[in-house]
Amino acid sequence: MGEVSCHGNLIDGHTRCVHWHSPLDIIGIKFRCCGKFYACHSCHAECESHIPERFRASEFGEEAILCGACKRTMSIAAYLGCGDRCPMCGAGFNPRCALHRHLYFE
């Protein structure tokens, strides 16, 4: 797979955005509505005029998570089971993202 580009109001090359930019905020998430990766739901809201659509539980095999450290994608199921660490490069993810899970996944 080629390089995936992440959209939004990014502040660096690791998917950090103006809303979320701690050292651990390095994932991009693909939205079901437009198929684009965004750094966060606020970025999606600022850049798109449509209602965000979330992936459903039956679609958790979708490669919808982008690791901002290694730039590789993983499935939603892999992300939810990864223990807040990239299964490919070992980079730590923000555990607080789990609190916002409902904004991204059904």
Q: Pick from 78, 76, 82: which is nearest to 101 by CA?
A: 76
CA-based max dimension of the chain? 35
Residue 69 engages Zn ion in binding (rule: CB under 5 A): yes
CA 77 → CA 42, 50, 64, 91, distances in Å? Answer: 23, 26, 9, 17
- Minimum gap (Å) between residue 72 Cβ and Zn ion: 6
Q: According to DSSP H, which parts of 4-82 are helical? A: 41-47, 76-80
Residue 67 engages Zn ion in binding (rule: CB under 5 A): yes
Q: Which stretch binds Zn ion (CB under 5 A): 43-51, 55-63, 73-81, 95-103?
A: 43-51
Q: Which stretch binds Zn ion (CB under 5 A): 9-17, 57-65, 75-83, 95-103?
A: 9-17
| Identity of residue 10 | L
Q: Which stretch binds Zn ion (CB under 5 A): 54-62, 76-84, 90-98?
A: 90-98
Residues that bind Zn ion (CB under 5 A): 8, 17, 19, 31, 33-34, 39-40, 42-43, 48, 67, 69-70, 86, 88-89, 91
